[in-house]
Structure 1
Amino acid sequence: MPQNNYPKLHNATWPGIVGKGEGSEPVIAFDKMLEMTAAAEVGGVKFDGVDIGLFNPHFNVDGSDDDIKKLADKVSSYGLEIGSLVAPIWPPDGGPAMGSREERKRFVEQVRKSCHIAKVLRGLGIRPHGVVRIDSASTPEAWAKDPAGNTKLIAETFREACDVAADYGEKLAAEGEICWGGMHSWKTMIDTLEATGRPNMGFQADMAHTLLYLMGYNKPEDRILPANFDWSDTAALQQGLKTLTAALRPWTIDFHVAQNDGTVHGTGSHDKTGRHCLANDPNGKLDIARDAGYWLRNENGELTKAFRHICWDGCMFPNQQMTQPGTWNNILAAMIKVREQHGWYE
């Protein structure tokens, strides 16, 4: 029987930026992220591609079509394809999705620019699959001042963004992360998605972030696992994951493989989020291959095939770790196990 070749295995480039700079460690150059991704190899298997954040200094969302072509040429020169893109929808260039009318217009415009880039890359043949990722660019604290009103505003902005994305043949995926208002618990995330109500709007699940949904960080009343949960109780953890994924899996159109030690962490301007751990971190609370299956298979254990690539998201690792070849080989090995257990062959 041939080895599974789907979903394709991607690495993310934005961990070279997120949590870096502004008094933290230096940004890791885009070329360096590509170099490390392309060099990783386990048992003859390599990464198939990269997911890219469309923000400086890696790439300027206002770049020309010629700049987009240069991006495609650069990535392909490493033998990689491009998958999902992250739209830079945050202030000052973007704006909170529940902000003023002007801020919300800027948000939608940043989505438009990102969708244009996505379409051009598709046309160049280097981007066979993937979505454009967004969030609310708003804090849970600001959202909590008027939950119903702010959810309505976020949904209105998301609908406008979805309509723009549809003009480019793109889907938008809202990232489930506890630091984004209206998306900071699994229930508020579903409320926002339902209120948006567009066919090209879905959910981006990240295993490190969704683990914290179980704990109710930033919205304790929505916790699934009890306070002071005993992490050695794997049966309860798996039942919690089943509850969570049953609710969010139908929305999921983009997926990040990751590890988490069950704590909240942030560096630089990216604060109060899931602590991404190395794939082999002894403090990791997830069995990566097993627990990815709750997202990649339905309640009957059947593959959903809802996305054709999966991505490793390892934000806020120290640069010393990120520049070690062994780090990327360990990550790739974990992703290969996910594909061996929950992939398919075409």
Structure 2
Amino acid sequence: MSNSKPKLHNAMWPGLVGKGDAEGQEPPISLERMLDLTAAAEVNGQKFEGIDYFLFHPHTDPNASEDELKKIADLIASKGFDVGSLVAPVWPGTVGDSAMGDDAAQAKFLDAVKVACRIAKVFNEHGVRKYGVIRVDSAEFGVAKWRENPGANTARIVDTFQKAAKIAADHGERLAAEGEICWAGMHSWKDMLDVLEGVGMPESFGFQADLAHTYLYTLGYNAPEHALVKEGYSDAEFWTAYANMTDKLRPWTIDFHVAQNDGQVHGAGSHDKTGKHCPADDPNGKLDITKAAGYWLKDAQSRGIQHICWDGCMFPNAMLEKADTWNKILEAMIKVRDAHGWQ
């Protein structure tokens, strides 16, 4: 019998991240179109069961009224989906600002967490959302400014995250910090671990692991001093290093993204270069997706994980519009659940 948990989700933000109205950018894909593309995918009778959701324009007005949010919830439910994790609009130019910024910036960051908690409450009470976390990051693109004073800047990020985690806990929510090489202070496995341990609130603040991003953690991209393998590494060397990294970060992991990476970085629009998400069947993919996912999903139930989500951030629109793209992604997700899930 195939496993029925964790539930299989698709992310809505590939229709937004790296997209826009500026010259050279592809236009955003609407929420309803992303929902329809996701709903159309099917492999041997199995479909996606939910979505993870980005709380910013054009999919969502962060300041939308309760009635407007209920209409969004109705739309999502009408496609047969639950809502899982939400992405708080913490970045400069949205509601928030840098987590390592001054008091005004920190206040904006915390406001963005409050916004996410308000929307989460509406979805929870509606019934469309029954599990999941609220995702944050340092909202500080690039590592140059962080490197001017690493100790003080990490301490500031930790202080902001502690205050944010208290807000989330007061709303019955948990925050997950996205480990990604573009986020200052979170750009290597060691720096991410320092932040998690510095916050020290595992009941309300944890880690979101993404296979594409954490693959580059092993290479020390943006932090050569923390590289776990050297160029030309063997397969055995990689998996030993990967096990060492996941053993340190897995106890903090409360949200998980299935993805593929070809060893390169990529940026689009206003998004800084980060781990390049690739199609699930990309011939240049560096990861055995099913095997890599197992390192993160050990004891997943004990950490409250009830769903896993695909992330194909910054895929070209033409790729997102192909039905075959989503069927292959869903197939990869099913393999992960069959190997590492539960009944």
Deviations 1:55-75 (A, max 9, x none): 100001111111111111000
Deviations 1:145-182 (A, max 9, x none): 11110111111111111111111100000000000011
Task: Please tell me whether the aligned partners of residues 76 and 126 of structure 1 are also in contact (alpha carbons under 8 angstroms).
Answer: yes
1-side partners of 2:335 and 2:100: how far apart? 40
- Is 1:41 equivalent to 2:39 in the alignment? no
Distance change (3 Å), C-alpha of 1:162 and 1:312: same
TM-score (norm 2): 0.96
Task: Choose from 99, 109, 112 the match for 2:111.
Answer: 109
- Tell which deviates more after alignment, 331-340 or 136-145: 136-145
Map 1:8-87 onto structure 2 (within 5 A).
8-21=7-20, 22-23=22-23, 24-87=25-88
Task: Please tell me whether the aligned partners of residues 88 and 116 of structure 2 are also in contact (alpha carbons under 8 angstroms).
Answer: yes
**Residue aligning to 2:217:** 213
**What displacement does 1:306 show?**
3.9
- Is 1:180 equivalent to 2:183 in the alignment? yes
- Is 1:146 equivalent to 2:146 in the alignment? no
CA RMSD of aligned residues (A): 1.2
**What displacement does 1:3 show?**
2.2
Letter in 2 for 1:32: R
Deviations 1:213-248 (A, max 9, x none): 00101110000011x234xx2212211110110010
- Is 1:200 equivalent to 2:199 in the alignment? no
Task: Please tell me whether the aligned partners of residues 4 and 341 of structure 2 are also in contact (alpha carbons under 8 angstroms).
Answer: yes
Distance change (3 Å), C-alpha of 1:305 and 1:149: closer
Letter in 2 for 1:91: P
Letter in 2 for 1:242: A
Task: Choose from 316, 319, 324 the match for 1:318.
Answer: 316
1-side partners of 2:128 and 2:215: how far apart? 32
Distance change (3 Å), C-alpha of 1:72 and 1:136: same
Secondary structure of 1:149's match? helix
Deviations 1:26-81 (A, max 9, x none): 11111110000011000000000000000100001111111111111000000011
**Residue aligning to 1:155:** 158
Structure 1 segments unaligned to the other structure (5+ residues): none
Letter in 2 for 1:334: A
Task: Choose from 190, 198, 210 the match for 2:193.
Answer: 190
1-side partners of 2:254 and 2:143: how far apart? 24
**Residue aligning to 1:135:** 137
Number of residue equivalences: 338
Secondary structure of 1:278's match? coil
1-side partners of 2:232 and 2:131: how far apart? 38
Task: Please tell me whether the aligned partners of residues 297 and 304 of structure 1 are also in contact (alpha carbons under 8 angstroms).
Answer: no
Task: Please tell me whether the aligned partners of residues 203 and 252 of structure 1 are also in contact (alpha carbons under 8 angstroms).
Answer: yes
Task: Please tell me whether the aligned partners of residues 303 and 342 of structure 1 are also in contact (alpha carbons under 8 angstroms).
Answer: no
Distance change (3 Å), C-alpha of 1:303 and 1:73: closer
Map 1:196-345 onto structure 2 (within 5 A).
196-198=199-201, 199-226=203-230, 228-230=231-233, 233-297=234-298, 306-345=304-343
Letter in 2 for 1:100: D
Deviating beyond 3 angstroms after TM superposition, the runs of 4 or more aligned structure 1 residues are 302-306
**What displacement does 1:303 show?**
6.8
Task: Please tell me whether the aligned partners of residues 254 and 303 of structure 2 are also in contact (alpha carbons under 8 angstroms).
Answer: no
Letter in 1 for 2:310: W
1-side partners of 2:68 and 2:242: how far apart? 42
Structure 2 segments unaligned to the other structure (5+ residues): none
